[in-house]
Chain A
């Protein structure tokens, strides 16, 4: 089954403790992206990747890092999490990142930073 898999689905942690949210897709997609969803704000893009070793900032990249060492994986790293990063996070992918392609989304990761 074609899918985008995120782990963990839920995480409660404390300020300053480094964490990684993994994202993996099995569709051989070149384009991958991370979003955060906050009430009243919709989804905002954090980082995206056009292909292996090619990443760039989205609209809200502060406090986040990403890497793309393999095509299928695109982890989101919070080096020193803070409470304002408490949010619902989604990973998404599309075949090439062309403007007319819909994105496929994972089921989300709910992060609570205390």
Chain B
């Protein structure tokens, strides 16, 4: 079965620093890939997704992610962190072998941003 690994349950950065959140998946067949963000007391919101085409995907709030098939990775980056980026981030993949969407989520990474 598909699995998603997010390295680091917590990542701390200073405001203005680079944000890098790591995501690796296990499928040998390229899946569809998603990053979601969860702010306190809210549901998950889509940041960006990769389905087909360009491997560098731009999302909302200045985030982007690059699909690297050879590394089975889909890491999330942002050049300069803002305080408002503090949240929990989930990487998810859509199982490639089902006829419909079945999302498998990573365990999440909490981003802490200090002044």
* A contact set with B: CB distance below 8 Å: 4, 31, 40-45, 48, 50, 58, 90, 92, 94, 97-103, 105-108
Contact of B100 among A41, A97, A106 (CB under 8 A): A97
Q: Most B CB atoms within 10 A — which of A31, A48, A100?
A: A100
Asked if B114 is at the interface (CB within 8 A of a chain A CB), the reply is no
Whether the Cβ atoms of B90 and A105 lie closer than 8 Å is no
Size category of the binding interface on chain B? 20 to 34
With A99-B100, A100-B51, A107-B41 given, can you name 14 additional A-B contacts, CB distance below 8 Å?
Answer: A41-B107, A42-B105, A43-B105, A44-B105, A45-B102, A94-B101, A97-B101, A98-B101, A99-B98, A100-B49, A102-B46, A103-B103, A105-B36, A108-B43
Set of chain B residues within 8 Å of A44, measured between Cβ atoms? 105
* B contact set with A: CB distance below 8 Å: 4, 9, 32, 34, 36, 41-46, 49, 51-52, 90, 92, 94-96, 98, 100-103, 105-108
CB closest residue in chain A, given B106:
A42
- A36 to chain B: closest CB distance in Å? 11
Whether the Cβ atoms of A50 and B107 lie closer than 8 Å is no
Q: With A4-B43, A105-B43 known to touch, is A40 a contact of B9 (CB < 8 Å)?
A: yes
Whether the Cβ atoms of B106 and A99 lie closer than 8 Å is no
CB closest residue in chain A, given B90:
A42
Set of chain B residues within 8 Å of A101, measured between Cβ atoms? 101
Q: With A42-B90, A42-B107, A100-B51 known to touch, is A105 a contact of B101 (CB < 8 Å)?
A: no
Whether the Cβ atoms of B45 and A105 lie closer than 8 Å is yes
- A95 to chain B: closest CB distance in Å? 10
Whether the Cβ atoms of B90 and A31 lie closer than 8 Å is no
The answer for the CA separation of A90 and B42 in the assembled complex, in Å, is: 10
Set of chain A residues within 8 Å of B90, measured between Cβ atoms? 42-43
The answer for the CA separation of A85 and B115 in the assembled complex, in Å, is: 38
